[in-house]
Every structure is written in C-alpha cells, then in structure tokens.
Chain A
C-alpha cells in the first residue's frame, strides 16, 4: 500500500514538474526596464561611495601598512646582519687577544726562567768562589796549625812529663833532657800522631 503511494507520488511529480516549466514563460525580469534607472542610480551611488572611501581612506592605509612592515623587516634584517658582523669581528678580536696573551705568557715564562737560571748560576758561582776561598783559608789555617802543633805538643809533653816525673819520683828533672827524649819520640813517631 505504502509502496503504491510512493510510486504514485513519483509518477504525479512529473506532472508537477511539467507545470513548473509551464509557468516559466514569464520571460526575463532583467529585460524589464521598469527599474533600470533606479539600478543605474544606486549602482553609481554605491560604487562611487565605495570607490571614494576605498581610494581615499582605506587603500592608502593598507599600502602604508605593507610598506612599513616591509621596511621594518628590511631594517631588522640589516640590523641582524650588522650584529652578526660585529659579533664575528669581536670573536676574531677575542681570539687574537687569546693568541697574543698565550704568546706573551710563554715569553714571560721563558724570560723568567732564563733570569732565574742566570741568577742561580751567578749566585752559585759566587757561592762556590766563597766556599773555595773559605776552604783555602781554612786549609791555610789548618796548615799553620799543623805546623805549629808539634812544637806546642812537645812543649805540653815536656811540661806534663816533668810534672809527672816530679809527682812520681819527687825529684826535679832537667827540662832539657826530657825535651830531648820527646824530640826523639816525636821524630820517630811524628807521623803516627799528626799525619793522616
């Protein structure tokens, strides 16, 4: 039943479509001159106003905005370029400074080392000389002492031996005889006592 109604609807619809096309014979409203003057008038008015406002107020602003943005971007790019260049030159400068300071440091170190070595050497020389002098002096003194030592020892030996004899036997002994004995002993055994 429902199917039948649907098919009928579709079938009759074609009749309606025919009616639609039949009503079309009215022609084109565009060719009816009733409102032509009105349309021309309003077109001139609206388009004229549109043109004047756009050309005098809005488009110059947009153009200025675009130009401004363009120039701003250009400026920024230039500034960035400048900054980059300056930073690069700074970097180079910095590297140069580092290089130079490294070189300076090396030189200073070398100089200082040389000076210190020189100082040490000269001081060493002086010291060695002094030491040599001292040694020589001391050696001379020792020599003198060495030379004078046997005589003094002999003297002491004579005195002590005379004292010893006096205390042992209680008699005075002639100094000359004692000295002769000591002289003889020291001559025989001198090397045993004073030599090295």
Chain B
C-alpha cells in the first residue's frame, strides 16, 4: 500500500531478469529514470545547440545559460586548470539535477534517493580526484595531509584528522545527497498521507504544508545538485592546485 512513506523508494524489476554471470542487472524503475533523465538532458541540450542564431531562442538560451553557469562555477572554485574536467562536471551536475527534478513529479522514482547511486558517483569522483592529484604532484600530493604552519607537537593529530576527513569525503558527499532526497520525499509522503487520513476537515493544514514542502523540495533538488557539483569542483581544486 502507498500508505508506507518508504514504499516510494522500492526498486522493482521492469521486464525480464537479465543476468551477467551471477550478477542481476535487470532493468528496474531506477534504471528507467536514469535513462529518462539522461535522454531528457541529451534532447534539451541537443536542441539547444542545433542551430546557432544570433538571437537565441528559449531552449538555446537555456542550454547556453547552463553552460555559462557551470563554466563559471568551475572557474570560480577550481580555476582555469579544471577546464579539461568541464564536461564531466557539467554531465554530473545535469544528471543529478535532472534525477532530482524528475523525482519531484508524483508517481516517479528518485534515482538519487538511493545511497548506492550517490555513493558510486561520489566514489568515482573520490578515486578520480585522488588519481589526478597523484598524477599532477606525485607523492607531493600527500602534503595535502600536512597543513603548513602547524606546531610539530600537533602534527600527528592533524595528519590523522586530515586523512580521516579526506577519506570521509565520498561518504559525506553521497550521504548528503541521498539523505536530503530521501528525507524530503519521505516527509512529503507523510504529509500527503496526513491529508488523506485527516479527510476534508482536518486535511487542509497538511495539504498546505505539502504544497510548501513541494516548493522547498524543488529548491533542495536544485541546491543539492549544485552542492554536489561544487564540492566536486573543490575536491578537484585540491588535487590541481596544492595550496597547503
């Protein structure tokens, strides 16, 4: 029954069981919304880049403004060295944003509300950034864990703290997005449930709450995508420009 606010996060198979070896890679509702989000991004940006008119139409303006927005975000946080990673961060931002936004439509599935999805993204970013850091600076990248201007006595402690904070990056990055999405959608479901259960007399208050929450959740959906992308930029900045 839809009464359980967590049922909206359930993943179920669409179509046949597909197996590679012992791994089940069946097409699920999560896969469906990943495909839908990717296709939506590709369609919108393909339309937005199709013809170059001096005066852009709405969809072209949308594509170009998004491009300028992400471009500015990267150059502000990670500098000009991060230019080769623009495509990745752009895709990442758009993917997370579209998954979050598609989740806001009733009866859809929110891909980013699953810890495994956000964790894989965050882990990929973490590993990629670490590899970039070691490739750029060699073992000098380890200086990241040794901040300058710290008393020798405190140094071992600081290094341990720095290492822990560095290693917890993928966890914090993934849990932030996942928890925000899950909490928001659960809350909306709970308030929606109150509307039904309180009926026509008492249901107005949770309904108005629900409406307000919808606005808030749309904001959160954008904000979390932005935070995800900007944190990626910051990690990339650490790897590219070793400041310590």
Which chain B residue shows the least CB distance to A51?
A: B91
Q: Chain A's nearest CB lies how many Å from the CB of B80? A: 15
B41 touches which one: A16, A42, A50, A63 (CB < 8 A)?
A50
Chain A residues whose CB sits within 8 angstroms of the CB of B114 once the complex forms: 30, 39
Q: Chain B's nearest CB lies how many Å from the CB of A121? A: 74
Which chain A residue shows the least CB distance to B32?
A: A42
Give the docked Cα–Cα distance between A66 and B60 (Å): 10
Give the docked Cα–Cα distance between A54 and B193 (Å): 40
Quick check: is A169 within 8 A (CB to CB) of the other chain?
no
Q: Interface extent on B, as a size class?
A: 35 or more
Chain A residues whose CB sits within 8 angstroms of the CB of B27 once the complex forms: 38, 42
Chain B residues whose CB sits within 8 angstroms of the CB of A126 once the complex forms: none
The proximity string for B residues 170-208 relative to A, scoring 1 for CB distances below 8 Å and 0 otherwise, is: 000000001000100000000001100111011000000
Stretch at the interface among A5-13, A130-138, A179-187: A5-13
A54 touches which one: B5, B41, B113, B116 (CB < 8 A)?
B41
Do B45 and A58 have beta carbons less than 8 Å apart?
A: yes
Do A36 and B49 have beta carbons less than 8 Å apart?
A: no
Q: Chain A's nearest CB lies how many Å from the CB of B176? A: 14
Q: Chain A's nearest CB lies how many Å from the CB of B194? A: 7
If A10-B202, A13-B198 touch, whether A30 touches B9 (CB-CB below 8 Å) is yes
Quick check: is A100 within 8 A (CB to CB) of the other chain?
no
Stretch at the interface among B62-70, B139-147, B154-162, B215-223: B62-70
B30 touches which one: A10, A19, A26, A35 (CB < 8 A)?
A35
Chain B residues whose CB sits within 8 angstroms of the CB of A42 once the complex forms: 25, 27-28, 30-31, 34-35
Stretch at the interface among B82-90, B129-137, B232-240: B82-90
6 interchain pairs, CB-CB under 8 A: A23-B1, A29-B6, A39-B114, A40-B116, A51-B88, A65-B52
Q: 10 other contacts beyond A47-B121, A62-B64, with CB at 8 A cut-off?
A: A10-B198, A29-B11, A30-B115, A34-B24, A39-B28, A39-B117, A42-B35, A54-B41, A62-B48, A66-B67
Binding site for A on B (CB under 8 A): 1, 3-7, 9-11, 13, 23-28, 30-31, 34-35, 37-38, 41-42, 45-46, 48-49, 52, 54, 60, 63-64, 67-68, 86-88, 90-91, 94-95, 111, 113-117, 120-121, 178, 182, 193-194, 197-199, 201-202
